[in-house]
Amino acid sequence: MCGIVGYIGEREKREFLLDGLRELEYRGYDSAGIAVLHQGEINYFKASGKLDNLIEKTKDFRSINFGLGIAHTRWATHGKPTEINAHPHWGEFSFLIHNGIIENYMEIKKELQSDGVVFLSQTDSEVIVHLFEKFVRLNFTPKDAFKKTIESLKGAFAVLLISKVSPETIFFAKNAVPLIIGKNSQNEIFFGSSDAPLIGFADEVSYLEDGSFGWASKEEIEIFKDDTKIVPIFKLLNSSKIYAQKDGFRFFMEKEIYEQSTVTSETLMGRIKDDKVYLEELSGYDFSDIDEIKICACGTSYHAALTSSYLFERISKIRCSVEIASEFRYKEPLMDKKTLFLVISQSGETADTLQALKMAKKAGLKTLCICNVDNSSIVRISDATILTRAGIEKGVASTKAFATQVLTLWLLSLYVAKKRDKLDKKMCETEMKALRSIPSVLKVDEEIHEKLHRLSKRYLHGHGFFFIGRDIFFPLALEGALKLKEISYLHAEGYPAGEMKHGPIALADSTLFTIALMPQTMLYDKTKSNVEELSARDATILAISPKEFTLADDFIKTQSYEHPMSEFFEMMVITQLLALEISIRLGNDVDMPRNLAKSVTVE
């Protein structure tokens, strides 16, 4: 995830662009840059690290009178967060900023290199500017050159391009990542990854559609989709900044739940092709001498780890054990060099997980981390990293980070299975089909959200919640319970459904709320019997299942998916929304719940 800002007009451009980037810093902050085209000349600045470094670098730069500006704050996906990889990228006469991932950049890069183009960065983005210049050199008009460039790209992109060959125009394109265009009565034109940077400047905005591209100048904005010129729909821009940052959602957590569909498609991008998993981060990684995977993590990341332990054993046919990092540290663990030591952390800074990783490194184990923050302490220490690409998570209660962790671990289990020759063709096809469908499974069903909103009023009291499930739905039950307790402050526990009868069922009465995860693809009848036992003791049951369940007091009907992971992700969203709605009714601060912090850097 990166942030993009653009401007056409007479305003002082440095200040507008940098203020805009400040609004988008939540989308990425490992480097930033701006380029301004004014009187036929392009000035540019880039800096690695936080935006303050760019502010310092540009402190003597001003650009008044008519001109164009583009600005970018980066969240590294291809290439390290260095200054050279920061945007804008340039050719001989054009500058470009890009958010997203160009899946076919390697093919394009090789072709351009064979034409003699020299690349400065390791990014996928740089191909776009060189491709544009190639078409200009082939005598296409700048507009046709841009159109041909965009038609050559596969993947996700929000692109702004400026060029000396068309000094009054910003070229733009959008596919699968956000881009907004705004305007006002003074003939100024604005671009942003969200409307936050445009508030107070633009009167009206248009949210560009996927697959659209075009060009904007003082005189006109032209937008095309599928070769047809379209008339953009402009809406009045809300003037509240906080509202804009949350894209109209009540809380960041709610926004992040709704973002899960897009961020998981970013997680998958470039990682599955022709029914094969590609994790280029692991090229050169030898799995032949590994006979076990040991995973350490905390909290929600621990729940992702626990989910994956079922996948590693079932799909990759490799032993897998999972430990809470704070326990692992002091148990004097036995460590074997044939064990792959995997840590999972959203922040990459969790003290217990970091320490467990250091212990494994010291013992000479091969280490790998799954993390959301590039260049974090855990990433720097691990032998290899797979980034989850969830973007910055603002809500303290983790949602989209968990979704991307589980998805990445599922990809990894398939990758390891392939390396160990444990994946037959049929299974591979089934898994790939299910993997590809997850972003659409994660689209929030508004009707279910509304139903959870209504149901939530019945779940504000009682003496506790049990979330129950079997197999991978047991870690999901743990995660559902954790979400609820974090933001509602109600007591909630996750339990394996089959374990209730071994003690906890003693608590059952009408004010014990049971959230029963009853997927059709995984031990449905067994789970059903366990839920019936609770119902017989008058526990209040909220059943989540694609199959009608008559004993339920409340029922959420899910889709009839054929793959357990699809059911897992759909039920995950439901448990997240349930916690959210209960917390909102209780009047709690959903995004900053009491006693918690986003990054736990103490023991």
Known catalytic residues are 2, 598
Rounded to a whole number of angstroms, the minimum distance from the CB of residue 305 to ligand F6R is 10
Which parts of 462-491 interact with ligand F6R (CB under 6 A)? 482, 486
43 vs 355, beta carbon nearer ligand F6R: 355
Rounded to a whole number of angstroms, the minimum distance from the CB of residue 238 to ligand F6R is 29
**Distance between CA 235 and CA 222 in Å, rounded?**
17
DSSP 8-state secondary structure symbol assigned to residue 234: P
Angle between helical axes of 400-419 and 564-585 (0-180°, round to 10): 160
133 vs 486, beta carbon nearer ligand F6R: 486
Pinpoint the alpha helices (H) of 495-563. 524-536
Please report which helix (H) or strand (E) contains residue 268, including its range.
Answer: helix 252-268
Residue 507 buriedness (CB in 10 A; 0-12 / 13-18 / 19+): middle
Which parts of 390-449 interact with ligand F6R (CB under 6 A)? 397-398
Site mask for ligand F6R (CB under 6 A), range 55-74, x = bound: --------------------
**Distance between CA 414 and CA 340 in Å, rounded?**
16
**Segment contacting ligand F6R by CB under 6 A, of 18-26, 91-99, 130-138, 341-349:** 341-349
**Distance between CA 311 and CA 427 in Å, rounded?**
13
With contact defined as beta carbons under 8 Å apart, do 302 and 343 qualify? no
236 vs 602, beta carbon nearer ligand F6R: 602
**Distance between CA 560 and CA 347 in Å, rounded?**
35
**Segment contacting ligand F6R by CB under 6 A, of 77-85, 90-98, 284-292, 343-351:** 343-351
**Distance between CA 601 and CA 222 in Å, rounded?**
50
Pinpoint the alpha helices (H) of 270-383. 299-311, 325-328, 351-362, 377-381
354 vs 423, beta carbon nearer ligand F6R: 354
237 vs 482, beta carbon nearer ligand F6R: 482
Residue 464 buriedness (CB in 10 A; 0-12 / 13-18 / 19+): middle
208 vs 298, beta carbon nearer ligand F6R: 298
Q: Is 345 in the site for ligand F6R (CB under 6 A)?
A: yes
**Distance between CA 275 and CA 272 in Å, rounded?**
6
Q: Is 346 in the site for ligand F6R (CB under 6 A)?
A: yes
**Distance between CA 19 and CA 448 in Å, rounded?**
38
Return the closest-CA partner of residue 387 out of 444, 345, 426. Answer: 345
Six-digit token string for 307: 């989910």
Rounded to a whole number of angstroms, the minimum distance from the CB of residue 596 to ligand F6R is 8
Distance of CA 550 to the CA centre of its chain: 37
Q: Is 351 in the site for ligand F6R (CB under 6 A)?
A: no
Q: Is 376 in the site for ligand F6R (CB under 6 A)?
A: no
Which parts of 277-336 interact with ligand F6R (CB under 6 A)? 298-301
With contact defined as beta carbons under 8 Å apart, do 257 and 576 qualify? yes
Q: Is 592 in the site for ligand F6R (CB under 6 A)?
A: no
Rounded to a whole number of angstroms, the minimum distance from the CB of residue 385 to ligand F6R is 14
Size of the site for ligand F6R (CB under 6 A): 14
Rounded to a whole number of angstroms, the minimum distance from the CB of residue 29 to ligand F6R is 17
With contact defined as beta carbons under 8 Å apart, do 26 and 19 qualify? no
Q: Is 600 in the site for ligand F6R (CB under 6 A)?
A: yes
35 vs 406, beta carbon nearer ligand F6R: 406
**Segment contacting ligand F6R by CB under 6 A, of 189-197, 226-234, 339-347, 469-477:** 339-347
Distance of CA 327 to the CA centre of its chain: 29
**Segment contacting ligand F6R by CB under 6 A, of 216-224, 340-348, 427-435, 585-593:** 340-348
Q: Checking DSSP bridges between strand 170-175 and strand 212-216, what pairing results, if any? A: antiparallel
231 vs 602, beta carbon nearer ligand F6R: 602
Rounded to a whole number of angstroms, the minimum distance from the CB of residue 399 to ligand F6R is 8
Q: Is 374 in the site for ligand F6R (CB under 6 A)?
A: no
Rounded to a whole number of angstroms, the minimum distance from the CB of residue 355 to ligand F6R is 12
- Residues at the contact surface with ligand F6R, assessed by CB under 6 A: 298-301, 345-347, 350, 353, 397-398, 482, 486, 600
